[in-house]
Structure 1
Amino acid sequence: MAADQPTIVATSGGWVRGERTELEFGPLIRLALDLSGATGRPRLCHVGTANGDNRSTNAMVNEAGRVAGVDVSNLNLFPMPPTEDLAGFVLDHDVVWVNGGSVANLLAVWQVHGLGEIMRAAWEAGVVLGGVSAGSICWYTGGVTDSFGPNLRVVTNGLGLLPYSSGVHLDSEAQRRPTIHEAVASGKLSETHCTDDGAGLVYHGTRLVEAVSERPRGGAYLVRRDEATGEAVETPFDVRRL
């Protein structure tokens, strides 16, 4: 089955430490699986481009899938894609979950392989798109990233499925909030949707329908420019605890 409408779950979380494994699917990933409408054993496509398709991460994700009763496939683009039919590969899943790392590198590699158009087709077909950190920023028009070094920079070449900018890890990295506020005030970033660690944002089409968190604390926020003052204004979203 497919989701009944295009759905994205953009997060700063999703993974939790397992009881007997390195990783388990946290409540945010489980929410994405639930939203897909999958019955039986759900099919999840794990995309690790932002971390260079690290094989040890793939193994931990595969193990997490086994524990959760989820069939996991890894879309490795290094050293080459697993098939000539990348669209068919992606569309044969209920959920696409994109891991974190370098969003700048992810977007560059995806462009080479035409993954942007494929992800849009999957989204429109009801495959739930989700991810953490770089795997969140990629769905937006852009955001703030450490892809280039410890000094945060703005990227504006995201896929643009969501017509906003993204801010991740707002509560755990000291420079995130001031950098986002500065970028929004200057116009480098558009209206920006932000998440603390453990929080996520659920979109149907391009409409934000819910902010959620897999942790007791941590929030989600809207940052936009006040045209009268030229300053960035931050407003918290109501958050449902999973």
Structure 2
Amino acid sequence: MKQIIAMGGGGFSMEPDNLSLDQYILNQSKREQPRICFLPTASGDSQNYIQRFYHAFQTLDCVPSHLSLFKPPPSDLASFVMEMDVIYVGGGNTRNLLVLWKEWGLDQILREAWKNGVVLAGLSAGAICWFEEGVTDSAGPLTSLKSLGFLQGSFCPHYDGEKDRRPAYHQLISNKFLCSGYTADDGAALHFINDQLFQTVSSRSGAKAYRVMMAEHEIAEISLPVKYLG
């Protein structure tokens, strides 16, 4: 079973006192103590970010680790990744993340891991990366960016958390710079199973997610049902 959990925002990065999304991600592995690996590539392997990951996940029933591409990684990247139950990708610069992953061949390794049942998850840049394309501020102004294409469509994170995200996403789709896709508020996550949206969950009441597309020459937002984890 292939699984991807794409967060608009939230998790330990943004809600250190509310780890319900992080626990939800761990629960999908079905292992009692899942092995979870944090990929902080998009942040330039920020040590503070890595420390916050361990601080959060050491309170949960799992075996946390991280993978750095800025220091010598394991000699056999594929074996290291395949041993994990969950891969959790942090936020930051999506463009840099994609460049580094492709240089190291990690994009293909992650695709194989996904096909072999490793749960893939992440927020912001760590969510955009799984789709065909997304809205990013990696180069400054919000613009479109081609991504890995594990999932069909585009993705826009921080839909309610950053005031320019929603109008930018609408404009990019209207002008055909992006295909139709999904968006999620901070605290909301889209859970895909075998390429199809299974359900949407949230760590805070009122967090929403949408399917966004063109309909009769206008942008249409279709609100998705959200299961509150609180």
Q: Normalising to structure 2: TM-score of the pair?
A: 0.95
Aligned mates of 1:135, 1:122 — CA distance in 2: 16
Aligned mates of 1:87, 1:16 — CA distance in 2: 26
Alignment-derived partner of residue 181 in structure 2:
192
Alignment-derived partner of residue 159 in structure 2:
170
Identity over aligned pairs, percent: 38
- Deviation, 1:190, is 1.2
Q: What letter is aligned with 2:208?
A: G
Aligned mates of 2:97, 2:153 — CA distance in 1: 19
Alignment-derived partner of residue 104 in structure 1:
95
Structure 2: gaps spanning 5 or more residues: none
Alignment-derived partner of residue 232 in structure 1:
219
Match of 1:52 among 44, 58, 61: 44
Contact preservation (8 Å) 2:89, 2:126? yes
Asked whether 1:182 is paired with 2:175, we answer no
- Deviation, 1:15, is 1.6
**Number of corresponding residues:** 228
Alignment-derived partner of residue 9 in structure 1:
5
Q: What letter is aligned with 1:42?
A: P
Asked whether 1:66 is paired with 2:58, we answer yes
Asked whether 1:32 is paired with 2:25, we answer yes
- Deviation, 1:79, is 3.0
Aligned mates of 1:32, 1:24 — CA distance in 2: 16
- Deviation, 1:126, is 0.6
Q: What letter is aligned with 1:34?
A: N
Report the 3-state secondary structure (helix = DSSP H, G, I; strand = E; otherwise coil) of the residue aligned with 1:177.
Answer: helix
1:17 and 1:193, CA in 2 relative to 1: closer, same or farther beyond 3 A? closer
- Deviation, 1:25, is 6.8
Q: What letter is aligned with 1:239?
A: V
Alignment-derived partner of residue 203 in structure 1:
192
Which of structure 1's runs of 4+ aligned residues deviate more than 4 A? Answer: none
Q: Normalising to structure 1: TM-score of the pair?
A: 0.90
* RMSD (Å) for aligned C-alpha atoms: 1.5
Structure 1: gaps spanning 5 or more residues: none
Contact preservation (8 Å) 1:16, 1:24? no
Asked whether 1:223 is paired with 2:212, we answer yes
Q: What letter is aligned with 2:145?
A: V
Contact preservation (8 Å) 1:101, 1:133? yes
Aligned mates of 1:24, 1:89 — CA distance in 2: 30
- Deviation, 1:217, is 1.4
